[in-house]
């Protein structure tokens, strides 16, 4: 990898030993020829082998000083050397040639953007949710879609809002769009539907819809968190086989 990478892939983790190795192997295999890049895993205090596995699979393993996804993402960005930051969930796989795609859209004047979304489980609700991810609007964008942003723009905006308890990866693109062109690329990431399977697909999707609607309506963060927990924890989760 180049000491001056174009792209810094930043992955926040917390006990992701079950998925991080496969995600990193996929990132290395699909970033695209000719793309100088680095991978940083910003960890929130894992008690499993996440950090060791990340290091063994070519990532910089970084114990974040402050837990919480927004703080971990900001810490990873502060340690990055690339001119473009690419934020990716530990259970999400980007499309083939994602680095080259990001470089292509940046050259066209887009300083930030995301991919469309697809789940690794076929279900009518999840298929519809993925179809909606093509729209470039806050009501249809999700953190699972991943996010690229020029580091200079990210720093100018102050990064993710660490005061937020939920929706920090929806709120940042809203601020980005006030400053720069934002693109939803036509290719899709593939993300794990594990949470949907555990809690029930319809229940989880309606919970996300409720929380996103309340967030866009200006509901305070503590209320959002209470609603999220109450709706998902109302019954005992199913066992995943």
Q: Which pLDDT does position 111 carry in this prediction?
A: 98
Predicted pLDDT of residue 233: 75
Mean pLDDT of 39-48: 97
**3-state DSSP helix/strand/coil % of the chain, to nearest 5:** 45, 20, 40
pTM: 0.93
Tokens, residue 101? 């795609």
Nearest to 104 by CA among 133, 77, 84: 84
The answer, yes or no, to whether residue 20 has pLDDT greater than 80, is: yes
CA distance linking residue 205 with residue 193, whole number of Å: 11
- 98 contact partners, CB below 8 Å, separation of at least 6: 30, 31, 32, 86, 115, 187
- Cα separation, 149 vs 180, in Å, equals 10
- Judged by average pLDDT, the poorest of 146-160, 208-222, 225-239 is 225-239
pLDDT level of residue 239 (50, 70, 90 thresholds): very low
Between CA 82 and CA 71 the distance in angstroms is 19
Pairing, β 84-87 against β 7-13? parallel
Q: Is residue 45's pLDDT more than 70?
A: yes
Tens digits of residue pLDDT in 141-173: 888 999 999 999 999 999 999 999 999 999 999
Look up residue 34 and give its two tokens: 């000719």
> How many angstroms separate the CA atoms of 140 and 209, rounded?
10
**CB within 8 Å of 188: residues ≥ 6 apart:** 95, 115, 116, 117, 118, 130, 133
Report the percentage of the chain scoring pLDDT > 90.
89
pLDDT class of 223 with cuts at 50, 70, 90: very high
Question: Is pLDDT above 50 for 126?
Answer: yes
Q: What is the pLDDT of residue 140?
A: 87
pLDDT surpasses 50 at 241: no
Mean pLDDT, rounded, for 117-134: 96
pLDDT at 238 over 90: no
pLDDT band of residue 1 (cuts 50, 70, 90) is very low
Residues 6+ apart with CB under 8 A from 131: none
pLDDT, tens only, 74-106: 999 999 999 999 999 999 999 999 999 999 999
Nearest in space to 188 (alpha carbons), one of 142, 139, 239: 142
- State how beta strands 92-93 and 60-63 pair: unpaired
Residues 111-140 have a mean pLDDT of 95
Angstrom distance (rounded) from CA 183 to CA 239: 38
Q: What is the pLDDT of residue 234?
A: 55
């Amino acid at each position: 990898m180049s000491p001056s990478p174009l792209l810094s892939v930043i992955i926040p983790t917390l006990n992701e030993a079950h998925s991080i190795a496969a995600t990193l192997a996929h990132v290395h295999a699909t970033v695209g020829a000719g793309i100088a890049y680095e991978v940083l895993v910003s960890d929130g205090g894992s008690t499993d082998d996440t950090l060791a596995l990340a290091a063994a699979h070519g990532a910089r393993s970084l114990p974040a000083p402050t837990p919480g996804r927004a703080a971990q993402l900001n810490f990873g960005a502060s340690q990055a050397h690339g001119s473009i930051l690419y934020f990716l969930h530990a259970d999400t796989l980007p499309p083939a040639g994602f680095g080259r795609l990001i470089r292509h859209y940046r050259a066209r004047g887009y300083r930030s953007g995301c991919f469309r979304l697809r789940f690794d489980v076929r279900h009518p609700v999840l298929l519809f949710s993925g179809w909606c991810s093509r729209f470039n609007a806050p009501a249809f964008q999700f953190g699972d879609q991943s996010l690229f942003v020029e580091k200079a723009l990210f720093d100018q905006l102050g990064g993710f809002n660490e005061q937020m308890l939920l929706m920090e990866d929806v709120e940042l693109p809203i601020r980005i769009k006030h400053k720069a062109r934002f693109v939803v690329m036509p290719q899709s990431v593939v993300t794990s539907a594990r949470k949907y399977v555990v809690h029930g697909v319809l229940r989880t999707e309606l919970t996300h819809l409720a929380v996103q609607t309340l967030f866009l309506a200006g509901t305070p963060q503590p209320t959002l968190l209470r609603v999220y927990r109450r709706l998902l924890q109302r019954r005992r989760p199913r066992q995943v086989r």
